Amino acid sequence: VSTRLVTPGVQAARVELEGLSRATEDKLTTAAEAVRRLVPNDAVIGVGGTNHARTPMALLIEVLRQGRTGLTMTRPLSCFEAELMLATGMADRVMTSWVGIGHGWGLAPVVRHLVENGQASFEEWSHLGIGLRYKAGAMGIPYLPTVSMLGSDIDQQLGLAKVTCPYTGQLLNAVPSLNPDVALVHVQRADQLGNAQIDGYQLMDADLVLAARRVILTAEEIVTTDEFRLDPARTVIPGFAVDAVVHQPMGAYPHECYGHYEADLDEFTAYMAAVKAGGVDGARAFAAGLIAHADHDAYLASIDPARLAAARRTAEEMLPR
């Protein structure tokens, strides 16, 4: 089995935890400071949300702004944020079950170009495969057995090891744990200690956070810990697993955040127009436009307020009542 499948391993991740503070302390900081401190070159970055849901855009754009090399992006389903990381050369590998633009645009043009030309690596997993990598990482065990990917060429390409159940003899795939170097996760609500709640679809984020070696949260709102005490069953991320908390309203923009705003398709259109005009260079130009703003608030301030208001209004109207 390839060593790349077991790096760094749950035991290493556990030993490392012993050297980290798990104190209940104020972890509020800025995206710039959190990324500077917690996202090194060559990191495997676990990106929260899926596709265009709760993408930690403010943090990813900050990574673009500061510049990194050799990054690997891991995410169950990826959208154009993966293209930006690859086009700028900051990442050279994605671990995912899917990359696409969606919304009628279909295939991801930059990923296509780079992978078809051997300039980026697309490490393909099943959706549950990614989920179980995080789950095993979160559980502190080196692998989890599953029927996912059996018989497929995904299995062949990855070179997954097989296990035989010691009780029944059933043949299963052994999916290795993944403890990403850093998780970037956007949530609806956090306190200054790093406790967090996710409204709507949870996706894989709670497991991702527990698996990751370092964690940065951005949150639509920061609330007091006492507010979480009113309904603690809704808290899905424990503060002791979190290294930094950033208050960032619209932190997933231009992607969506359940209950707060839907995706801004005008930005998708702008991205795809840039790529259509200039290919990978077009994606780089789009990224350059994003990082030209001093921070995410400045980016938001550059968008027509009516568009932002419409995105927020639609999201609220979609909520169950």
Partner 1 sequence: MTHSLTESPAGLAVQHPDARPNEIMTIAASRLLEDGKVLFAGIGQPLVAAAIAKRRQAPHLTVLLEGGMIGIELTPGELPASTNEVRAAVGAQMLTSATDIFLMAQRGYFHYGFIGGAQVDRYGNVNTSIVGDHARPTVRLPGPGGANDIASMCNEVVVVTQHEPRRFVERVDFVTSPGFLTGGTSRQDSGLLHGGPRWVVTDLALLDFTPDTHRMRVRALQTGVTLAQVQAATGFELLIHDQLDQLPPVEDAELALLRHLVGASHEGAEEASR
Question: For binding to partner 1 (CB under 8 A), which residues are involved?
Answer: 49-53, 76-77, 96-100, 102-104, 106-108, 111-112, 115-118, 122, 124, 126-129, 131-132, 134-135, 146-154, 157, 162, 170-173, 200-204, 206-207, 256, 258, 262-263, 315, 318, 320
Alpha carbon distances (Å) from 19 to 70, 89, 212, 213: 26, 32, 15, 11
* Cβ nearer to partner 1, comparing 27 with 260: 260
Alpha carbon distances (Å) from 276 to 82, 177, 214, 267, 291: 17, 38, 37, 14, 20
Report how far residue 180's alpha carbon sits from residue 121's, in angstroms, rounded to the nearest whole number: 17
Name the residue type at position 116. Answer: E
- Which helix (H) or strand (E) covers residue 301, if one does? helix 296-301
Instruction: Provide the minimum distance between the beta carbon of 29 and partner 1 in the complex, in angstroms, as a whole number.
Output: 28
- CB neighbour list of residue 278: distance below 8 Å, 6 or more residues apart: 284, 285
- Report the half-sphere exposure of 254 (CA within 13 A, side-chain side): 21
Instruction: Provide the minimum distance between the beta carbon of 115 and partner 1 in the complex, in angstroms, as a whole number.
Output: 4
* Cβ nearer to partner 1, comparing 110 with 182: 110
Contact in structure between 48 and 208 (CB atoms under 8 Å): yes
* Cβ nearer to partner 1, comparing 68 with 75: 75
* Cβ nearer to partner 1, comparing 34 with 47: 47
* Cβ nearer to partner 1, comparing 23 with 321: 321
Tokens 């671990």 identify what position?
Answer: 95
The b/e string for 33-51 (b: 16+ C-beta within 10 A; e otherwise) is: ebbeebbeeebbbbbbbbb
Instruction: Provide the minimum distance between the beta carbon of 270 and partner 1 in the complex, in angstroms, as a whole number.
Output: 17
Instruction: Provide the minimum distance between the beta carbon of 94 and partner 1 in the complex, in angstroms, as a whole number.
Output: 10
Instruction: Provide the minimum distance between the beta carbon of 148 and partner 1 in the complex, in angstroms, as a whole number.
Output: 5
* Cβ nearer to partner 1, comparing 217 with 315: 315
Instruction: Provide the minimum distance between the beta carbon of 35 and partner 1 in the complex, in angstroms, as a whole number.
Output: 25
